[in-house]
Structure 1
Amino acid sequence: MSDARDDEALGWAGDDDPTLAPEGAPAGAAAPRARAPRRGETAPAAARRTVLDEAEDAEDRAAERELEEAERASAQLSSAALIGLGVLGGVYLLYTIGWIVFFSRYELAIDVTFGVFSDLIARTLAIAAAPLWFVATLLITQRRRRYRFLWLVIGVLVLIPWPFLIGGTA
C-alpha cells in the first residue's frame, strides 16, 4: 500500500497546472486526480487516514515548529556585535594574563598551612574569574542578547587586576 506522502514524492508542485500539459493534449487537460469518495462509498486504502497517520502529521508539525523556533533563536550576530565580542574577549584574556603575571612575581611559602592553602585557592579563583565570567555570560544570555553586552561590560569593570595595574606586590 502506498501512503499519501509517498504519492507526493512522485509528483512536482504544479503538476495539475493546465499550461504544463504535454504536447498534443488539449490545453485544459491536466494530470488526472483521484476523486473523493461519494456518500456511501468507502475511500480507497491509500486515501484512508489512520490514527497513526494523524499522529505522524502532528509530530511533523511539532518538529517543524521547533526547528523554526531554533532558527529564530540562533539568528546570526551582526558584524558589530561580533567585533564587540572579540574586543571584550580580548580584554578578558588580558585580565587573565595580568593576574597570572601578578601572581608569578613572588613565591609561595614551602610549609602547607591553612593560610597558604587558602591563598593558593584565592589566586586560582582570581586567575579563573575573567574567563569564567566571559563564558558564563555568553551561556546565560543566549536568549536575551540585549543584556549580554551589559553583563560583559560590568565584568570588565569588576574584574580589573588592580594590583597588576598599580604595580603592587602581594
Structure 2
Amino acid sequence: MTTGRDDDALSWDGDDDPTLDLGDSAGSDPAPEAPARSSVPELPRGYTAVGKSSEAVGAAGTPDAASVEEETPAGGDTVAEPRSLGNGALVALGVLGGVYALYAIGWIVGGLRLQGWRPFLVTDLMYQGSLWLAVLAPVLWFATVVLLTRTGRTWVRFAWLGAGAVLLVPWPFVLIGAVGQ
C-alpha cells in the first residue's frame, strides 16, 4: 500500500510544492519535537483555576509566576482586575437592578402622594430636596455597590445589594399606595 501524496482525497494546484512536503507518513523523517512545556499546567483562555493549589495553575498565554513577580511595580502593589460574573450572577444582578429601579419609581409616586400633607410637615424647599434625594438613593446605592465591589467577591456584592433592598423600601408608597386611603 502506498502512502504517497497521490492517495490524498483532495489535491490542489501547488500540492507538489517541496516546501509543503513534510515527509511521507511511513516515518522516514522524524517528526519535529514538540516545544518544551513548562512545569506549570495551563488552562484555556477564559478559565480560572479555583481551589487548592490554584495559584500554581497558569492561564494560556500568561507568563510563569516567576516572570509575573518581576513585572510587579516597585511598591509591590498589584492592580486587581474585575472578575467576570457567571450567568446566574448576571441575571440576579439584573433582577436587583430592576428592583432598585422600581424603588425609585415607588419613591416618586409615594412622595408625590404626600404633597398634600407637606405644609404640615416641612417647608417646600426641604420637601423637594428630600424627595429627590429619596428618588436618587436606590439608583446611587446600586451604582455605588456595583462599582466598589468590582474586584471583590460576588457574595459581598449581593450582600450589600440585599441590604440596600431592605433599607431603601419606598415607605410612602407602601403605606399610602398609588391610589391613597
**Alignment counterpart, residue 124 of structure 2, candidates 116, 120, 123:** 116
Aligned pairs for 1:75-154 within 5 A:
75-105=83-113, 107=115, 115-145=123-153, 146-154=155-163
Structure 1 position 73, deviation (Å): 2.4
Q: CA deviation at 1:123?
A: 0.5
Give the superposition deviation at 1:144.
1.1
Structure 2 contact 114–172 (Cα < 8 Å) conserved:
no
SS in 1 for 2:105: helix
More helix by share: 1
Count of residues in correspondence between the two structures? 109
1:165 corresponds to 2:164:
no
CA contact 1:108–1:116 (8 Å) conserved in 2 = no
Between the aligned partners of 1:144 and 1:75, the Cα distance in structure 2 is: 8
Q: Which has the larger radius of gyration?
A: 1
Q: Partners in 2 of 1:87 and 1:148 — Cα distance?
A: 14
Alignment check: 8 A CA contact 2:83 2:151 kept: no
1:164 corresponds to which letter in structure 2? Answer: F
TM-score, normalization by structure 1: 0.52
For 2:174 and 2:114, the matched residues in 1 are separated by: 16
Q: Return the letter of the residue paired with 1:159.
A: L
Q: Which runs of 5+ in 1 are unaligned?
A: 1-20, 29-57, 64-68
Contact 2:100 2:138 in 1 (8 A): yes
State the Cα deviation string for residues 7-28 of structure 1 (Å, max 9, x = none): xxxxxxxxxxxxxx998xxx79
In structure 1, the residue corresponding to 2:123 is in which secondary structure?
helix
Matches within 5 A, 1:7-22: none
RMSD of Structure 2 on Structure 1 (CA)? 3.7
| Runs of 4+ in structure 1 over 6 Å off | none
Give CA-to-partner distance per residue, 1:58-89, whole Å, 9 cap, x none.
Answer: 9xx739xxxxx77x723321001001101100
TM, length-normalised to structure 2:
0.49
Q: CA deviation at 1:143?
A: 1.5
Alpha-carbon deviation of 1:108? 7.7
**Contact 1:102/1:163 (8 A) holds in 2:** yes
